[in-house]
Structure 1
Amino acid sequence: MESKVETMAVKNKAKKSGILKSKMYTMLLALVAIWVIFTITTDGNFLSTRNLSNLLRQMSITGILAIGMVFIIILGEIDLSVGSMLGLLGGIAAILNVWFNMGAVTTIIITLALGLVLGFWNGWWVAYKKVPSFIVTLAGLLVFRGILIGISKGNTIAPLSEGMKVVGQAYFPSVVGYGIAVATIAISAYIISNNRKKKLQYGLEVSPKRNDIIKIVLIAIGIIAVVAILNDYSGFPLPVFIMIIFAIIFSYMAGSTVFGRRIYAIGGNKEAAKLSGINVNKQVLMIYAFNGLLAAIAGILLTSRLNAGSVSAGTNAELDAIASCVIGGASLAGGTGTVSGALVGALVMATIDNGMSMLNTQPFWQYIVKGLILLLAVWADIRSKNKK
């Protein structure tokens, strides 16, 4: 019975893939348009290698949060606490490193473990105590921020040790950057090929093979171009590499594993998933734990990049993560979403922040623009469903 539900989840996901692709292409065109506008208004400075490197480093924080958030949204749940969780875990990392003189490795291990614990805490209330995720994570938003203010006494904690600063500020040399590009292209080709095999296995319609080849070629060109730009500045940023690693892992998990199919099955129809024998509570708990782990990684990277832990770190980061997922095609109703879409959404959000900062635009305009983009993205999702 379970396999039937998982098969149905694969078929439903395949049916929605056309809509998701259409949204993705639309979003990419919108992103290109935004880049053109900022390039013109900044006299070409937006496309400088230095700024593009900084843009991707900025994006890596939101991107990592969006990877975890998209799985929660696919489940049909939400997490409003990741911004405060990021701030708290980043603050704890700074306290351990600065006040207790712990080494970078020990600090990172403890922070990641605490991220899992906080994720389990949210997941336990949602899965086993049946408290709505909106309420659980809204409470977490307040509790985690309060704990951060309490343990830091409202102070900025700095400076970090050299070992901790490396995590958020290091660059790979050019040779390593091109090695990363080759590996990423090979893995992307494997994932595309494997998804094709899965569709054939379940008797689903597949596009001509040449389309997949064209997709792989375009991905390869894009990746090599990005690496060339980054290498022209200082090299491949370590935070971007970390984001790519987790993007690949979670993309594979979503598209090529039983665990991923179960997540889509739960988001598509939770009651049917339960009746099929899927342990829904366990799946929800695990996803929230993964989300806590990714929040810990984002917190470490942000603290390392800023060389300080701050009580304001991560403020509104949860909104950027949610907006990234929705802009990238995820549906708040559950059952729909991809990691790649969430990353495109994260790039859009980072682009707006970066471009408007370069234009010395007052901060309130950034909130207004991002809010309107989120509203339009949700409206477009609802409109497409109504048409269907």
Structure 2
Amino acid sequence: MEAISKLFKSNVRQYGMIIALIAIMILFTVLTGGLLVKPINITNLILQNSYILVLAIGMVLVIITGHIDLSVGSIAAFVGAISAVMMVDWGLPAWIAVIASLVVGGLIGAWQGFWIAYVKIPAFIVTLAGMLLFRGLTMIVLEGQSISPFPGGFTQISAGFVPDLANTATNMIAILAGIAFTVLYVLNELRGRREQLKYNFEVTSSTLFVLKLVLVAVILNLFTFMLASYAGIPNILVLLLVLILAYSFVMNKTIMGRHIYALGGNEKAAGLSGVKTKKVTFWVFVNMGVLAAVSGLIFAARLNAATPRAGTNFELDAIAACFIGGASAAGGIGTVFGAIIGGLVMGVLNNGMSLIGLGIDWQQGIKGLVLLLAVAFDIYNKNKRSA
């Protein structure tokens, strides 16, 4: 028990939110009579929250640098509108429209990044202006009307599933994916533990290590079995997994990732250490623009339409996901995995409260309270460490 307590205290930010997510899922599973964990609802949870999770990946990088981006919802709506005009009105192939939309998102990020990094206008002001500007441009592009339908191939981004090996009741691709990821996870953890022991780092006991491996393996295979019981692996889950792995690698294993953390921790010290702070800030916002474009395309594909009200409050959900997932409002702290966990906490809360018939007024209030408690928890831990 002492070892477990020590393990939890040393990783309280990460494990605390995972435990909270599991507790929330158990609570709503009981309240909904098991509806929350039905295979069809698990798949819907992924589809409903995919665009927020994509935004959260980019937003956590922005928050780590000590900034904020209020414009991502409007950018997502604007890019969705641009893609609709290109595909529906102009008849361009979907792949050309997608590439052009991503370029537009990158240019918007570069525009905002220039004002923030080089002109030194606070990110709050620049992105607030961007929120208003691109919401207005969305209205102009769509002329106040929705544009639909998109080509069938494009909508498969959000509505499609990875084809199965055979026409069976249980999707074998999902089952095999669960086994494969379990093997890769176990091998990676064993390699990491060997490296720690090689350099005489402190590691958890063998019992706790094996328990952790077994628990993760069970959860992972249970999740893929649920997907297999419905329609298999959604295409959007594959995209999310690629983004999570890629950005986790960048933040944990590359110079760029270390520079982002250094910038958020102490900008002056980072600059004196050779970090090109303006350049790092600029590219973080370019990246945010591209991921906002990806989110807009996903949302448009899910709706099969571009609408003037698309993207409303996306920025608030993405920011909340990052803070709930352990990012610090002061910058310098946060992880991609934590942002995903925070997004899932918000998603499960939304879904569970809807399933039990809770009104939107109560839903908004409860989500606001959860966000406040998460930030208070962050400040409490920070004060406790500095005491």
Asked whether the two chains share a fold, i.e. TM above 0.5, the reply is yes
Select which of 370, 373, 376 maps to 1:373.
370
Aligned length: 372
1:308 and 2:305 correspond: yes
Question: 1:181 aligns to what?
Answer: 178
Mapped contact 1:194–1:256 kept (Cα < 8 A):
no
Other structure's SS at 1:131 match: coil
CA RMSD of aligned residues (A): 2.3
1:328 and 2:318 correspond: no
1:281 and 2:271 correspond: no
CA 1:234–1:267: 2 relative to 1, 3 Å: same
Question: 1:21 aligns to what?
Answer: 11
Question: 2:26 aligns to what?
Answer: 36
Correspondences of 1:46-125 after superposition (within 5 Å):
46-125=36-115
Using the TM superposition, give the Cα deviation of residue 306 of structure 1 relative to its aligned residue in structure 2, in angstroms.
Answer: 0.9
Which segment drifts farther, 190-199 or 376-385? 190-199
Mapped contact 1:87–1:314 kept (Cα < 8 A):
yes
Using the TM superposition, give the Cα deviation of residue 206 of structure 1 relative to its aligned residue in structure 2, in angstroms.
Answer: 4.8
CA 1:168–1:244: 2 relative to 1, 3 Å: same
Which segment drifts farther, 107-116 or 356-365? 356-365
Cα distance in 2 for residues equivalent to 1:258 and 1:59 = 31
Select which of 100, 114, 117 maps to 1:127.
117
Q: What letter corresponds to residue 317 of structure 1 in structure 2?
A: F
Correspondences of 1:89-238 after superposition (within 5 Å):
89-172=79-162, 173=164, 174-182=171-179, 184-185=181-182, 188=185, 205-207=202-204, 214-238=211-235
Provide TM-score, normalisation by structure 1.
0.89
Question: 1:12 aligns to what?
Answer: none
Question: 1:340 aligns to what?
Answer: 337
Q: What letter corresponds to residue 270 of structure 1 in structure 2?
A: E
Other structure's SS at 1:32 match: helix
Provide TM-score, normalisation by structure 2.
0.89
Cα distance in 2 for residues equivalent to 1:18 and 1:115 = 40
Other structure's SS at 2:17 match: helix
1:240 and 2:234 correspond: no
Which segment drifts farther, 23-32 or 220-229? 23-32
1:357 and 2:347 correspond: no
Mapped contact 2:8–2:15 kept (Cα < 8 A):
no
CA 1:78–1:49: 2 relative to 1, 3 Å: same
Cα distance in 1 for residues equivalent to 2:182 and 2:265 = 31
Question: 1:254 aligns to what?
Answer: 251
Cα distance in 2 for residues equivalent to 1:339 and 1:201 = 28
Q: Percent identity?
A: 40
Q: What letter corresponds to residue 117 of structure 1 in structure 2?
A: L
Q: What letter corresponds to residue 107 of structure 1 in structure 2?
A: A
Q: What letter corresponds to residue 296 of structure 2 in structure 1?
A: G
Cα distance in 1 for residues equivalent to 2:59 and 2:195 = 25
Using the TM superposition, give the Cα deviation of residue 309 of structure 1 relative to its aligned residue in structure 2, in angstroms.
Answer: 0.7
Which segment drifts farther, 129-138 or 349-358? 349-358
Other structure's SS at 2:11 match: helix
